[in-house]
Amino acid sequence: MKALVKTKKGKGFLEIKEMRVPEINYDEVLIKVHYTGICGTDVHIFTGQFPIYYPPVILGHEFSGEIVKLGEKVTSWKTGDRVVGECQSLVCGKCRFCRTGHPEACAAKRSPGWGIDGSFADYIKMPSWLLHKIPDNVSYREAALTEPAAVSSQSLYSRAKVSTGDFVVVLGTGPIGIIIAKMAKIAGASQVLITGINKDEKYRLLLAQKLGIENTVNVSKVNLKEMVDDLTDGIGADLVVEATGVEPAINQAFDIVRKLGKIAVIGVPGQSRLNVNWSAGSFKALDLCFSFSSQYEDWTRVLKLFENHSLDLTDLVTHEFELADWKMAFDKTIDCQGGKILFKI
Ligand SMILES: [Zn+2]
Ligand SMILES: [Zn+2]
């Protein structure tokens, strides 16, 4: 099969290669990939900035597909089933985190796309216990967004626990920011603002509007602090979601959140040490909710929201590429001139 492979560590070293179709063991299934999305993780591995990966490895972890082969002990699935899969393919099963329902935090975790072969290929193998059925009325194309939506659900619902009536500001207008803004509306936020900078003005802020987030703000042109103060009688936002990983935006979060408010952190900075207004956090007695990956309940929640049309992300997919055109697809992702970009396999 054809696959997009990171062949060795460093910047670049990504190429289409002929690879063997994965062999499955007794509790795994083989999945024919239908759609698979490009995530920041794939880009960071491409550019050599991701902290851990084990080349040669097929990239990609956001996918939807169809089961074509079952391991001999798999009884709960059949060939032809339409599925998506959680990412923690290999975990120890014995550590504190595995045993308390957090396999995503297992130190031995290996996930598709960096730790083991991923979904930028004709086929991927998955442990059967990580699969979720795609509802009949949800297309493969939309289902390929389950993983980024589950990660968003983990941040907003499971960790930050957004409340009905909250005044929510989402900093960053990438796919995750837009999904979180939509999820905040579903949860009954009183207002949802999403922010971008000048480079987002021509594309991503308009895309957010197209997806139903009316209140878009270009913070390169508008003083966000003044705007939030005006809209909240000087109190500040109940919840700020930081989805950029960029230092000025992180400081903006501390600036615009109200006393006793919350900051949900999902953006990952390029550097580990930041110059942050930490004392504002103390004086405001803030809750800081970091988050990564997702859990079972996020996946079932997202699939239900897709099924009942509460969460419609159809328009978030702005481009589809063949795997052979991966360079164009990655360039578009890096330039931020698209929403979610998918490979149709
Ligand atoms: Zn992802
Ligand atoms: Zn473990």
CATH value at residue 33? 3.90.180.10
CA of 41 to the centre of ligand 1 (A): 6
Instruction: Name the band, by pLDDT with cuts 50, 70 and 90, for residue 66.
Output: very high
What percent of the chain clears pLDDT 90, i.e. is strictly above it? 95
Cα–Cα distance for residue pair 45/203, rounded to 1 Å: 25
| Cβ-contact 147, 294 below 8 angstroms | yes
Tens of pLDDT, residue by residue over 251-288, are 999 999 999 999 999 998 888 899 999 999 999 999 99
Backbone angles phi and psi of 154, in degrees to 5: -60, -45
pLDDT tens per residue, range 290-316:
999 999 999 999 999 999 999 999 999
Residue 202 CA to ligand 1 centre (angstroms): 24
Domain co-membership, 17 together with 113:
yes
User: pTM value?
Assistant: 0.96
CA 69 to centroid of ligand 1, rounded, Å: 25
* Contact (CB, 8 A) for 241 and 266: yes
- Are 129 and 11 within one domain? yes
Which residue, among 268, 297, 277, has the nearest Cα to 86 in the 3D structure?
297
For the stretch 86-102, pLDDT in tens is 999 999 999 999 999 99
Q: How far is the CA of 161 from the centre of ligand 1 (A)?
A: 21
Q: How far is the CA of 53 from the centre of ligand 1 (A)?
A: 15
Q: Is residue 305 one of the residues assigned to a domain? A: no
How far is the centre of ligand 2, averaged over its atoms, from the C-alpha of 296 (Å)? Answer: 16
Give 270 Cα–ligand 2 centroid separation in angstroms: 27
CA of 305 to the centre of ligand 2 (A): 30
DSSP-assigned beta bridge partners for residue 31: 67, 124
Enter the DSSP assignment of 123.
E
DSSP characters for 281-303? HHHHT-EEEE--S--HHHHHHHH
pLDDT value, residue 6: 97
Please report the DSSP string for 35-79 in residue order: EEE--HHHHHHHTT--S---SSEE---EEEEEEEEE-TT--S--T
Asked if 137 and 195 sit in the same domain, the reply is: no
Q: How far is the CA of 108 from the centre of ligand 2 (A)?
A: 6
Nearest to 86 by CA among 56, 69, 106: 106
* Ligand of minimum distance to the alpha carbon of 104: 2
CA angle 145, 75, 37 (to 5 degrees): 15
Q: Is 214 among the domain residues?
A: yes
- Determine, yes or no, domain membership for 297: no
Residues 75 and 35 in one domain: yes
The token pair that represents 260 in the structure block: 């006793």
Peptide bond into 56 cis (omega under 30): yes
Write out the residues surrounding ion ligand 1, Cβ under 5 A: 39, 62
Proximal ligand: closest to the CA of 97? 2
Closest ligand to residue 86's CA: 1
Q: Are residues 133 and 171 in the same domain?
A: no
Q: What spacing in Å lies between the alpha carbon of 99 and ligand 2's midpoint?
A: 7
Q: What are phi and psi of 208, to 5 degrees?
A: -60, -40
Q: What are residue 258's phi and psi, to 5 degrees?
A: -80, 170
Q: How far is the CA of 55 from the centre of ligand 1 (A)?
A: 18
CATH number for the domain including 285? 3.40.50.720
Number of H helices, E strands in the chain: 11, 16
Q: 136 C-alpha vs ligand 1 centroid, how far in Å?
A: 23
Task: Provide the sign of the torsion angle of the four alpha carbons 21, 22, 25, 30, taken in this order.
Answer: negative
Residue 237 contacts residue 194 (beta carbons within 8 Å): no
Calculate the CA 110 to chain-centre distance: 17
Residues 77 and 93 in one domain: yes
Q: Is residue 300 part of a domain?
A: no
Tokens of 127: 């442990």
Expressed as residue numbers, the domain containing 282 is: 152-290
Ligand nearest to the CA of 110: 2
In the chain, how long is the greatest CA-to-CA distance?
Answer: 63
Residue 184, amino acid: A
pLDDT of residue 50: 86
With respect to residue 330, please indicate whether it lies within any of the assigned structural domains: yes
Q: Are residues 6 and 124 in the same domain?
A: yes
Q: How many CB atoms lie within 10 A of CB 195?
A: 29
Q: How far away, in angstroms, is 73 Cα from ligand 2 center?
A: 23
Ligand nearest to the CA of 90: 2
Q: Are residues 118 and 135 in the same domain?
A: yes
Ligand 2 mean position, distance from CA 155 (Å): 21
Q: Are residues 119 and 182 in the same domain?
A: no
Residues 175 and 274 in one domain: yes
* 339 occurs within a structural domain: yes
What digits encode the pLDDT tens for the residues 144-185? 999 999 999 999 999 999 999 999 999 999 999 999 999 999
Residue 49 is predicted with a pLDDT of 86
User: Are residues 163 and 280 part of one domain?
Assistant: yes
Ligand 2 centroid distance, CA of 115 (Å): 15
Residue 238 lies inside a defined structural domain of this protein: yes
Between the CA of 241 and the centroid of ligand 1 the distance, in Å, is 18
Tally of domains in the chain: 2
Instruction: Calculate how far, in angstroms, residue 280's C-alpha sits from the geometric centre of ligand 2.
Output: 36
Residue 302 lies in a domain: no
Claim to verify: residue 64 and residue 116 sit in the same structural domain: yes
